[in-house]
Amino acid sequence: MSPIQYMVEGGRRLSGTIEPAGNKNAALPIIAAALLTEHPVTLENIPRIRDTETLVELIRSVGASAEWRGRNTLDIHAKTIRAADLDPVLCARIRASILLAGPLLARCGEVMLPPPGGDVIGRRRLDTHLLAFEQLGATVTASDRLEFRCLRLKGADVFLDEPSVTATENALMAAVAAHGATHLRNAASEPHVQDLAHFLAALGARIEGIGTNTMIVHGPATLGAVSYSIQPDHIEVGSLIGLAAVTRSPLRIARAGITHLRPVRMGFERLGIVCTAEGDDLVVAAGQTLKIQDDFGGHVPKLEDQPWPAFPADLMSIAVVTATQCDGVILMFEKMFESRMFFVDKLISMGARIVLCDPHRAIVAGPSRLKGALVTSPDIRAGMAMLLAALCAEGVSTINNADQIERGYECIDERLNALGAKITRVPARR
């Protein structure tokens, strides 16, 4: 696979309407969860990105049929599947390969899983997954790969040692097949976790407490066929809010999924960016103040990520770039991943005024006049943040390793060019 570059001409005003893709972090566990039923599943609004394509290859490798029908509709039929050795090369591409553990354990009684890959944003524990499976009756062996075995999963009172999104999703999928009730406590409640739970309920699972930190799953469920549409990606919506702000452009984000945007909007309001809901559309008007809101008494404010329903960790990189174009000083506190802030040196090379205090905290003083530069995309979210920086900078920027951006944002160059951006993809998309 050839490396991808984006050549970006900055300083252009954008305008128009854009619709966010389906939620990547919902699509991945839902594709995996389709293995739980032997009946056909149709999934709509699946983002056609590298991560979903890789997971589709993985579920085919265990015997499921998976065919794209149209651009964003996926038909999956896991009538018979086998606990095959999963391709370590494919597993190394995406973190979401770990999500196959729950469904394969439920259907086959065993699964051998190579170490999952994904973004290099710091240590990403697997312990919570292993502890959850053990509480549901599985044995776990870890060597050069993870081996899970269980002849019959049993409902249990499961307390997760941290509200991990993917561990919650794995435990939820396994609990659907477990015999007896499972109380899943300290569970993550992000919109994509809720979407998975609603998909499982549509299949026939009985789940109480969706959207809370305690879910009760009554198993084993008799699962059937279903057609299900993935919800819009609130992280992409947040990225588009940041895009509108830094380019000082009026944008309408159509079918934005307003219900889940309150924490996102609150975070951007701290940066002086106010959005208006019109039905299920979100409007970012021109003429934003871009004035960082001081804390009471004139103290330096802080924007920090936390588990849902707080400001999402996946938007911290976007918020850092946005803050460089706002008037004032703010402390950005990334609590969850110790390497996510390391992309700020690239922003500093473009002219941003940022002090990296430690792996988790950065002080941003703005506004800064950014200049085009040669930069590299280190991960999905930092890559999108660098694209925002390039779009508001003076001159031309080259973003290497743009493959990372395309792991999470579908045809983002084409979609932003339709708004007036000038992004040249090298090589051109076929």
Q: For residue 119, indicate whether it is catalytic.
A: yes
Phi, psi torsion values for 22, nearest 5 degrees = -65, 155
- Segment (H or E) for 47: none
d(CA 364, CA 329): 6
**For residue 125, what are the CA distances in angstroms to 168, 170, 356?**
13, 14, 25
Q: Rg of the chain over CA atoms, in angstroms?
A: 22
How far is the C-alpha of 110 from the C-alpha of 103, rounded, in Å? 10
Q: Are 327 and 292 in contact (CB under 8 A)?
A: yes
Q: Which H helix or E strand runs over 344?
A: helix 344-349
Can you say whether residue 351 is alpha, beta or left, with left for phi > 0 and alpha for psi between -120 and 50 degrees? left
Of the candidates 51, 119, 195, 233, the residue annotated as catalytic is: 119
Residue 258 near residue 265, CB atoms below 8 Å: no
Task: Classify strands 65-68 and 74-77 as parallel, antiparallel or unpaired.
Answer: antiparallel
| β partners of residue 277 | 282
Helix-strand-coil split of the chain, %, nearest 5:
35, 25, 40
Residue 244 near residue 322 (C-beta atoms within 8 A): no
Question: Is the separation of the CB atoms in 223 and 36 below 8 Å?
Answer: yes
Catalytic residue list:
119
